[in-house]
Structure 1
């Protein structure tokens, strides 16, 4: 596995799931450091796509708003259209579209199925509580013609329950809805455990779940808004390789 990826695995359906690292560079067109431009991000995206066997410029992104909205991947991609619109999850109905979201502490959740479709979701505290994961699973289920397929989810690197400090009143309120959220930081203050809650939500929905046990705040090879606001965003991506992965990386 390349250093550009913090995690990657392939599925029996020929799909791949991956989460980028700081080594791959910032993947956001809007969260930029003072010396960065959108063209720098475009280069980072093309480099990563070539590395993964994705035709450069063809990955689909959304304009994330911490919502529970799910959209279908359209024919346009980031090189011709900035995003697929405002949403926090994307579904590829035939599983052939490379789809991605951006995070830097929130949860990147990648979905594959044994019947074809794929999805990827951005689940921060607000989106998770509003149902973005349940909505994504529901959209995938509507595409299961035989109604007997399996959905698999990989919860990627995110801030962990030892690091996501929140006011005590918030923790107590939201933990009523999702008890798995209740946590405490390593320094003894109230916290939320988003990965644990996401796993509980998905398992309750009948999804087969695995988690990448990497905390973005603790691991400096990952972007973290809490540790370093504005530094950049990593991407969670689901794809089928379309080209050789022996391409030469661009560096300018």
Structure 2
């Protein structure tokens, strides 16, 4: 695989020496509408949104080619389980037909060089984590339930258990639905904000909302982690997949990803 291959819409982030990381967009793949922003060429990386499996395999291979390493994905269930991946998974995901999933979980961690970790989203918050000194990386999928469950904390705990120091850990919080757009019932806002006050938001329409990216940034900051935030709203930005935007018109949509690997 070539680390120099281009892929449309990629947003790279710097997580330290020996680490490659980026967020994908809806562009650069082979999926047609509704798994593409403009009718075709969609980089849908999700297997649970009714897209053709062969097309998703091509899309995933393009993301892996851009990274320069195979990329493992989990079956995300809005929980706080962290899956540890190693040499066996690197070999399996480097195969001509890699597994569909590394298992059920909402965070992945590895100290294995040359194995990419991917987190799939279409409004939830993708989180990439790395300690370039301890040589360990992780990803986390933080939706409303994941923020409440503390999935970001569990991912950090897994890094620390493998030698990381939260003072050295660098995090990237990727595109997600923003507080101006994520309308929820007042009771739901109050429940989440009671646990993570920084999530409290009011939408641009003056209704109760949740700012999940702000909540994730606060959770990371509380552990002393340096954070880079990509401030793009998935609902507002037509170059990104958004489950909420698609649901308004009664269609499905694709999944973009955050990806990280050690080299």
Tell me if both proteins adopt one fold, taking TM over 0.5 as the criterion. yes
Distance 1:72 1:104, change over 3 A: same
The TM-score, its normalising length taken from structure 1, stands at 0.87
User: Is the CA contact (8 Å cut-off) linking 1:3 and 1:21 kept in structure 2?
Assistant: no
Structure 2, unmatched stretches of 5+, are 29-42
Match of 1:247 in 2: none
Structure 2 CA distance, aligned partners of 1:11 and 1:61? 20
Match of 2:253 among 231, 241, 247: 231
Query: How many matched pairs?
Result: 234
Distance in structure 2 (CA, Å) of the matches to 1:68 and 1:5: 29
Alignment correspondent of 1:8:
12
Task: Tell me by how many angstroms 1:94 deviates.
Answer: 3.7
Decide whether the 8 Å contact of 1:15 with 1:239 is kept in 2. Answer: yes
Q: Quote how far apart the aligned CAs of 1:172 are.
A: 1.5
TM-score normalised over the length of structure 2 = 0.83
Q: Which of the numbers 100, 103, 107 marks the counterpart of 1:85?
A: 103
Structure 1 residue 52 corresponds to structure 2 residue 67: yes
The equivalent position to 2:53 in structure 1, one of 27, 38, 46, is 38
Q: For the residues of structure 1 that align with 2:214 and 2:16, how far apart are their CA atoms?
A: 26
Name the SS of the counterpart of 1:41 in structure 2.
helix
Aligned residue among 16, 20, 25 for 2:24: 20
Q: Could you tell me how far 1:167 is from its partner in structure 2?
A: 0.1
User: Secondary structure at the residue paired with 1:209?
Assistant: strand
CA RMSD of aligned residues (A): 1.9
1:119-168 CA distance string (max 9 Å, x none): 011110001100100000011011117x5861111000000010110001
Q: Please name the residue that 2:195 is paired with.
A: 177
Aligned pairs for 1:1-252 (under 5 A) are 2=6, 4-24=8-28, 25-32=43-50, 36-54=51-69, 58-74=70-86, 75-76=88-89, 77-78=92-93, 79-114=97-132, 115-144=134-163, 150-229=168-247, 230-240=252-262
CA–CA distance in structure 1, aligned partners of residues 262 and 191 of structure 2: 41
